[in-house]
Amino acid sequence: MSKDVKTPMLDDLEKGAWPSFVKEIKTAAKKSNTAHDLLGILERSYRDKVTHWKHGGIVGVLGYGGGVIGRYCDLPEEFPGVAHFHTVRINPPSGFYYTSKAMKELCDIWDKYGSGLTNLHGSTGDMVWLGTQTDKLEPIFAEITAKGWDLGGSGSCLRTPSSCVGKSRCEFSNIDTMDICHTLTHKFQDELHRPAFPYKFKIKVSGCANDCTAAVARADMSIIGTWRDNIRIDQAEVKNYASKMNIAEEIVGMCPTKCMSFDGGALKINDKDCNRCMHCINQMPKALRPGKEQGATIMLGGKAPIVTGALMSWVIVPFMKLEAPYDNLEDLIRKLWEWWDEHGKNRERIGELVDRMGMRSMLESTGLPPVPQMVKQPRTNPYVFWAPGEVQ
Amino acid sequence: MADKPKRITDLGSPDYKKFLPPVIAKNYGKWKYHEQLSKGTMKHVSETGDELYTVRIATPRLVSTDYIREMCDISEKYSGGYLRWTTRHNIEFFPAKDQMDALVADLKKRGHLVGGIGYGISNVVHTQGWIHCHTPATDASGVVKAVMDELHEYFTTKSLPARVRIALACCLNMCGAVHCSDIAILGIHRLPPKVNEATLANQCEIPTTIASCPTGAISPNPATKTVKIKAERCMYCGNCYTMCPSLPIADGAGDGISIYVGGKVSNARGPARMSKLVIPFLPNNPPRWPEVVKAVKHLVEVYAKDAKKHERMGEWIERIGWERFFKVTGIPFTYQHIDDFTFARDTFRMTPTFKWE
């Protein structure tokens, strides 16, 4: 542990109304040298305006290729408590529900072996335990698995899948997002723990087009619930809403497909023209509900900028029924991975591979038919490929 | 080795059903509608007639085990020992109806912020920054704390025309995938990496380092058995540094923050869309990042004043047009705003139809 260092800049961030992460580090520092030295090195970064963490080394637990991020600081003599500052990713339960008993057990394990600092949750959705040393990794793993927990993904593997609350609390959800997330996580344990892909692969599951997990932006495979039949309407509740809001302006007037009308009495929807955007249902949940023929749109390719620019996922299956045990979805995912493994370059995300190889290569190898829902519009250029046999 | 317990692997996620409050387990898939009761509370009603009450508070994302234990104690007192984290780092409790007011009062008394539901600003999704990451161009937690100290009333009491989702990523790797946010705060570098001639040959694989550059700015340097960087081609993505530690790109003066706006992931009213660059650079000024705080607050305030009800920031900008957006915000339009990367031409305007003032 370093000597007590002054941290005037961080101290300033204890003030103010918003909850303070500095207060949390200081709380942890009362019990942990690692947390104590994190304060010192972080204050140094605040002064220098650069990070003091180096590239990670390869550390982990026996038999897994991921789940732990190796981290070392560049000032180990000054801040020996953070010479090693590895991160452990714990796979959370779907929907992020916890019992206090389970959470307290995890806290006891983390206090015993690490800094006592965590992120709930990291960007992919893992519970992130920040700051431990290489020799603590196996003991941590033994203790968490004894309590029924496992590590999440890191590196070029399936990252920990994540979902919204879905049917556990949301009436909008068209699919059982939490169960899909849980089932896929278990089907793909090998792909999650033993990196064998060209690069990372993320799956997120949202129950409706509101997309509360940001699947379209943050996942290579975005599973987004929708329905195909008619919106269910309770006209008595429409009347109740009419006394609280301007339905003509706020609902009918903001409908993107102009598929609705309201004469002051009943709300009429031409479901054939509705594109199921969720605006009216969001505003009048008591009066309007998604239809009963429910399933999901499957989209592919979402990712952050590195390397060829940020992408949002695009449609590869407009509507898929999703019922346990979701073998149809598993089958599609495995075919996509096979195509990606075959053609992908090192550190090429699956969306970038579609960009490089074209949709046709992916569609042919997965057996998905080309359908108009995949495009905003057909191509405008005349540079069209014809496969051998297509020209008679 | 007889006393050594069997090594357990590949357990996967624990069964979520073990963690569901009884009212949720009983009404799973049966929820009929919900009502927002306040900025921090809501009620869900089931087809069975059962009701579920939710109270939401903000967390700082980086928390201590003592903090979690406090939350657990609160959940035991008011919420049957059940609690939930949201995708935006908030915590939710599920009190019985007659316990809700007492829970809210207790949370406020302990200094927690109750809110984050509905039209306003929920918690900020963000990355690690200087706390743990080796590639950041700025800190994450500190910037978020400074911004939200200024905007916290939009979490607890004040309303906005619609949701304003703020997210921060501390470099272009964007672990936070902020690119579809109403306001995205993004750490950027502005200087090319420096080649460490002394270590590169031993630390890095030259072909993969060269291949990592999306603009082809890196070429072999046979004289030193390292690489050369064509500075004018580099757009400072830092991907080469990820592959090769001998190409450090962080620079105290060069690094800072850029701001993108108008993205969203929801498809309500119009499709999900990406955020667009509005402020190319603001300096890193820890611990309070005053320039960033001021800029974000200004964007929120101009939007709040001018947008129609239900309009997200991007929908508002599309309605008034970008030229008017830059006018009403007073943000200067520069070379940096005009795209010159892969999809640039898609962003150029091809009509002579403008709304002149």
Prediction ipTM score: 0.97
For residues A82 and A129, state if they share a domain. yes
**Distance between CA atoms of A166 and A204, rounded to whole angstroms?**
12
Query: Which residues of chain A are within 8 Å of residue B127 when distances are taken between CB atoms?
Result: 123
- Inspect the interface and report whether the beta carbons of B172 and A214 lie closer than 8 Å: no
CATH number of the domain where residue A327 is located: 3.30.413.10
Our CA angle for B103, B109, B114, nearest 5°, is: 60
A90 vs A86, A164, B85, B237, CA distance in Å? 13, 18, 15, 29
B133 CB neighbours in chain A (<8 A) are 51, 53
Strand order in the sheet with A117-120: A68-69, A86-90, A127-132, A117-120, B62-64
Q: Are residues A94 and A183 in the same domain?
A: no
Same domain, A14 and A103: yes
Residue A196 falls inside a structural domain = yes
| B299 contacts chain A (CB < 8 A) | no
Range of the domain at A359: 162-207+215-222+297-390
Specify whether A191 is located in the same domain as A81. Answer: no
Task: Return mean pLDDT, chain A.
Answer: 97
Please give the distance of CA A141 from its chain centroid, rounded to a whole number. 24
Among B34, B65, B180, select the one facing A116 at the smallest CB separation: B65
A54 has a chain B CB within 8 A of its CB: yes
Q: Which of A22, A188, A280 is nearest to B268 (CA)?
A: A280
B68 touches chain A (CB under 8 A): yes
A200 domain residue, yes or no: yes
Residue B220's SS3 state is: strand
B76 at the A interface (CB within 8 A)?
yes
Assign A43 to helix, strand or coil. Answer: helix
What local confidence, expressed as pLDDT, does residue A20 receive?
98
Distance between CA atoms of residues B43 and B54, nearest Å: 6
3-class secondary structure, B5: coil
Q: Are residues A198 and A327 in the same domain?
A: yes
Chain B contact present for A117, CB below 8 A: yes
Within 10 Å of residue A56's Cβ, how many Cβ atoms? 17
Residues A26 and A95 occupy one common structural domain: yes
Looking up residue A258, the CATH number of its domain turns out to be: 3.30.70.20
Give the domain-ending residue among A146, A172, A191. Answer: A146
DSSP 8-state assignment for residue A150: -
Nearest Cβ partner for A117 among B64, B73, B179: B64
B119, B57 Cβ separation under 8 angstroms: no
Residue A172: the pLDDT is: 98
Closest residue of chain A to B264, computed from CA coordinates: A214
A387 CA to chain B: closest CA distance, Å? Answer: 28
Query: What distance, in Å, lies between the first and last C-alpha atoms of chain B?
Result: 82
Which residues of chain A have a CB within 8 Å of the CB of B274? 217, 310, 312
Report residue B178 CA to chain centroid gap: 5
Q: Is B255 on the interface with A (CB under 8 A)?
A: yes
- For residue A323, tell me if it sits in a domain: yes
Q: Which helix (H) or strand (E) holds B246?
A: none
Distances (CA, A) of A131 to A28, A86, A282, B125: 11, 5, 41, 21
Set of chain B residues whose Cβ sits within 8 Å of the Cβ of A99: 18-19, 81-82
CB of B319 within 8 Å of any CB in chain A? Answer: no
At which of A264, A289, A314 does a domain end? A289
Chain A interface mutation, best of B251, B265, B289, B309, highest count of A Cβ atoms under 10 Å: B265
For B132, which of A18, A85, A283 is closest by C-beta distance?
A85
Confidence label for A57 from pLDDT (cuts 50, 70 and 90): confident
What sign does the dihedral B338-B342-B344-B347 (CA atoms) show? Answer: negative
Is A3 contained in some domain? no
Would you call B63 and A170 a contact, using CB atoms and an 8 Å cutoff?
Answer: no
Interface of A with B in 150-179 (CB under 8 A): 150, 160, 162, 164-165, 167-171, 176, 178-179
Q: Which of B21, B52, B131 is closest, CB to CB, to A42? A: B131
Same domain, A302 and A274: no
Both A47 and A127 in one domain: the answer is yes
The beta strand positions in B209-325, using DSSP E, are 218-221, 226-229, 256-261, 276-283
**Residue A266: other Cβ atoms inside 10 A:** 11
**CA distance linking residue A230 with residue A233, whole number of Å:** 9
Residue finishing a domain among A121, A146, A171? A146
Closest CA to B240 of B220, B219, B199, B211: B211
Whether A227 has its CB under 8 Å from any CB of chain B: the answer is no
> Cα distance from B267 to chain A (closest Cα, Å)?
5
Q: Inter-chain contact A120–B68, Cβ cutoff 8 Å?
A: yes
In terms of Cβ atoms closer than 10 Å to its own Cβ (0-12, 13-18, 19+), residue B8 is middle
* B136–A91 C-beta distance less than 8 A: no
Using an 8 Å Cβ cutoff, are B51 and B100 in contact? Answer: no
In this complex, the residue of B16, B81, B267 whose CB is nearest that of residue A178 is: B16
Contact assessment for residue B247 and residue B200, using Cβ atoms and an 8 Å cutoff: yes
CB contacts of B29 in chain A (<8 Å) are 167, 176
HSE at residue A170, side-chain half, CA atoms within 13 A, is 23
Q: A71 at the B interface (CB within 8 A)?
A: yes
Residues A197, A242, single domain; the answer is no
Number of domains chain A is built from: 3
- Please say whether the beta carbons of A281 and A253 come within 8 A: no
Asked if the C-beta of B321 comes within 8 angstroms of chain A's C-beta atoms, the answer is no
Instruction: Please say whether the dihedral angle defined by the alpha carbons of residues B223, B229, B231 and B232, taken in this order, is positive or negative.
Output: positive
- CA of B15 vs chain A CAs: smallest distance (Å): 6
Domain membership of residue A1 (yes or no) is no
Residue of A nearest to B149 (CA): A18
What is the predicted pLDDT for the residue at A267? Answer: 98
pTM score: 0.97
Chain B residue numbers touching A130 (CB-CB < 8 A): 62, 131-132
Residue A201 lies in a domain: yes
Which DSSP symbol is given to A50? S
What's the confidence (pLDDT) of residue A306? 87
pLDDT in tens, A232-256: 999 999 999 999 999 999 999 999 9
Which distant-in-sequence residues (6+ apart) come within 8 Å of A380 by Cβ?
none
Distance CA A172, CA A224 (A): 12
Half-sphere exposure at residue A223, Cβ-oriented, CA atoms within 13 angstroms: 31
A 2-21 residues inside an 8 A Cβ radius of B: 9-10, 12-13, 15-21
Under the banding of pLDDT at 50, 70 and 90, the label for residue A70 is: very high
Is B24 within 8 Å of chain A by CB? yes
CA distance A205 to A123: 15
E strand residue ranges, chain B: 31-38, 41-46, 51-58, 62-64, 82-85, 90-93, 125-126, 166-169, 183-188, 218-221, 226-229, 256-261, 276-283
- The backbone torsions φ and ψ at residue A323, rounded to the nearest 5 degrees and listed phi first, read -125, 145
Q: Provide, as residue numbers in chain B, all residues whose Cβ is less than 8 Å from the Cβ of A210.
A: 266-268
- B58 to each of B86, B112, B153, B160, B184, how far by Cα in Å? 10, 7, 12, 18, 19
Asked if residue B94 lies in contact with residue B52, where contact means CB atoms within 8 angstroms, the answer is: yes
Cβ–Cβ below 8 Å for A309 and B343: yes
* pLDDT digit string (tens) for chain B, length 357 residues: 456 667 999 999 999 999 999 999 999 999 999 999 999 999 999 999 999 999 999 999 999 999 999 999 999 999 999 999 999 999 999 999 999 999 999 999 999 999 999 999 999 999 999 999 999 999 999 999 999 999 999 999 999 999 999 999 999 999 877 999 999 999 999 999 999 999 999 999 999 999 999 999 999 999 999 999 999 999 999 999 999 999 999 999 999 999 999 999 999 999 999 999 999 999 999 999 999 999 999 999 999 999 999 999 999 999 999 999 999 999 999 999 999 998 899 999 999 999 888
* Contact indicator for B90, B39 with CB cutoff of 8 Å: no
Q: Cα separations (Å) of B244 from A72, B170, B191, B212?
A: 16, 19, 17, 9
Per the domain annotation, does A156 fall within a domain? no
CA distance B128 to A56: 15
Residues A140, A17 within the same domain: yes
Amino acid, single-letter form, for residue A95: G
Residue-wise pLDDT for A122-143, tens only, equals 999 999 999 999 999 999 999 9
Torsion angles phi and psi, residue B35, rounded to 5: -130, 135
Q: What is the pLDDT of residues A105-117, one digit of tens each?
A: 999 999 999 999 9
Regarding whether A120 and A26 lie in a shared domain, the answer is: yes
A274 and A337 part of one domain: no
Q: What is the DSSP string of A280-299?
A: HHHH-TTTEE--SSEEEEEE
Strand-pair partners of B186: B169, B258
Q: Which residues of B touch A148 (CB under 8 A)?
A: 11, 14
In this predicted structure, what is the pLDDT of residue B4? 65
Asked whether residue A117 is assigned to any structural domain, the reply reads: yes
* pLDDT number for residue A308: 84
Q: How far is B326 from chain A (nearest CA, A)?
A: 24
Inter-chain contact A121–B60, Cβ cutoff 8 Å?
no
